[in-house]
Amino acid sequence: MITIVEANSKKLLKEFVKFPFALYKNHPYWVPPLINDELDTFDKSKNPAFTSADAHFYLAYREGKIVGRIAAIINWNEVKDQQKNKVRFGWWDVIDDIEVTRALLEKVYEFGRNNNLEYVEGPMGFSNLDKVGVLTEGFDEIGSMITWYNFPYYKEHLEKLGYVKEKEYLENRFTMNNVDPAFFLKAQDMIKRRYELKALNFTNTKDILPYVDKMFDLFNSSYAGLSSFVAITEVQKEYFKKKYISFINPEYIKFIMDKHNNMIAFSIVMPSFSEALQKANGKLFPFGFYHLLKAKKESKDVLFYLIGIDPEYQSKGVTAIIFNEYYQVFKEKGIQNCIRTPELEDNHAIHNMWKHFDPVTFRRRRTYRKELL
């Protein structure tokens, strides 16, 4: 018999967070999150997503043992502003038993129906900066700190339960060695002169902070045309600023400004923390912090976490400036692989941006949808 319990206490939420550690114990490709970071994500007093979202967290038990978990989420900005009558599910992990998945999803349906919503989509988080998608290809590749890993049977469970593909995401990797650096150098010089642009580079995190709000404003405007996009609010800007900026090498953040000092493009690259997080196994102490700091300084793989260009400049070659700046930094640090985080398959503008690098798709993931009848 399967019993569903709401994780509505600190003790149960900790069990919710720690369940995947047991499910994926010693798995070579699963990347564990930091336990305290996950707990903060689910804390209504700490995560500003709860100012515009509601969520419930559920655990599935069989014979006293946890066998699955799921989060049911409503993003009210999405429902009210975009008229998407959708309940989300995320942080879904389960043993290979479709009845456990069925029982967990029933709680999501109940939450959606109680709020007069029409369909369910997932897996996805509170916002566009959360993890997204169930892995469908690339199970033999190590995950990252900003994606979920899952077993192949997750996809099978959803499809057997009547879910259909809603959005497809691609993850690609490439190397800067695929392109002659002279190509960028010549192109970026011409683009800078034509549009009177300049690149800002940093060596200290504190010098970046005055620009971060402008960056999120540009993020909102440059992604607004995507069907899945929900804008980042003012309070979320502050939250993500504190949560992520200190993790990132300042030299990996690039801003492009026009002659009036308006930001027209940005890019954030992160060192890969995957192996460091595996060694940390969810904890910063006693040795996790050391592994993360070492990866920040020495990782030879990087993730292109976010990139945004003002719509007015999206077809004017601004990426040549960005890539030229990164080429110099990556050459100095001996970076070997550049990994792009999940991008919508139909986001042709972003795919066109990378065409000169001969990127290889090494992972696919998708969100699934089901109508609430």
Residue 228 has pLDDT above 70, yes or no: no
Provide the pLDDT confidence category of residue 72 given band limits of 50, 70 and 90.
very high
Provide the pLDDT confidence category of residue 224 given band limits of 50, 70 and 90.
confident
Residue 84 has pLDDT above 90, yes or no: yes
Q: Averaged over 243-269, what is the pLDDT?
A: 92
Is the torsion defined by CA of 112, 134, 30, 249 positive or negative?
Answer: negative
The strand pairing partners of 54, in sequence order, are 74
Q: Averaged over 125-154, what is the pLDDT?
A: 95
Of 285 and 72, the one with more pLDDT: 72
Residue 312 has pLDDT above 90, yes or no: yes
Provide the pLDDT confidence category of residue 297 given band limits of 50, 70 and 90.
very high
Cα-Cα end-to-end distance for the chain: 26
Fold that domain 176-335 belongs to in CATH: Aminopeptidase (3.40.630)
Q: Does domain 2-171 have CATH number 3.40.630.30?
A: yes
Residue 43 has pLDDT above 80, yes or no: yes
CA dist 191 → 195, 237, 259, 329 (Å): 6, 30, 13, 20
Residues of the chain with CATH 3.40.630.30: 2-171, 176-335
Is the torsion defined by CA of 291, 211, 207, 175 positive or negative?
Answer: positive
Q: How far apart are CA 367 and CA 130, in angstroms?
A: 13
Provide the pLDDT confidence category of residue 349 given band limits of 50, 70 and 90.
confident
Q: What is the pTM of this model?
A: 0.93
The pLDDT tens digits of the residues spanning 193-219 come to: 999 999 999 999 999 999 999 999 999
Please give the pLDDT value at position 124: 97
The burial class, CB within 10 Å (0-12 / 13-18 / 19+), for 86 is buried
Residue 6 has pLDDT above 80, yes or no: yes
Q: How far apart are CA 55 and CA 92, in angstroms?
A: 13
CA dist 14 → 7, 17, 226, 352 (Å): 9, 5, 35, 42
Q: How far apart are CA 353 and CA 122, in angstroms?
A: 28
Please give the pLDDT value at position 355: 80
User: What's the gap between Cα 242 and its chain centre?
Assistant: 16
Residue 227 has pLDDT above 70, yes or no: no
**CB half-sphere exposure, 134, CA atoms < 13 A:** 25
Please give the pLDDT value at position 230: 79
The pLDDT tens digits of the residues spanning 165-180 come to: 999 999 999 988 877 8
User: What is the C-alpha R_g of the chain?
Assistant: 21
Written as one string, the DSSP assignment of 273-285 is -HHHHHHHTT--T
Of 128 and 153, the one with more pLDDT: 153
Provide the pLDDT confidence category of residue 131 given band limits of 50, 70 and 90.
very high
Encode 169-226 in three state secondary structure.
Answer: EEEEEECHHHCCHHHHHHHHHHHHHHHCCEEECCCCHHHHHHHHHHHHHHHHHHHCCC
Of 236 and 296, the one with more pLDDT: 296
